[in-house]
Amino acid sequence: MNARYSKAFGMNVAELRDFAERQPFRPFTVRLSNGAQYTFSEPRNLGAPKDWHMIIFFGESDWTLIDTENITEVIAR
């Protein structure tokens, strides 16, 4: 069962951080305002500065900088 959390329901940066740092880690996907989505399947896919104003998705051989203002939905896997 997938749980969806939408910015329309008020997910803020602190909630995103708490969601991403759950223990044990559980995979999740973020959907952006441009339609792109990134699946964080393990903790090493994710990086963030202390203020979480952005997150970094680390893929197999590349990385993507994501402004948290552009995240419209978080989907728990």
- The kind and range of the H/E element at 15 are helix 13-20
* Alpha carbons 8 and 1: distance in angstroms, whole number: 21
pTM over 0.85: no
Residue 21 DSSP one-character state: T
pLDDT at 5 over 90: no
How high is the pLDDT of residue 15? 82
Position 8 confidence tier, pLDDT thresholds 50, 70, 90: very low
Architecture of domain 3-76: Roll (2.30)
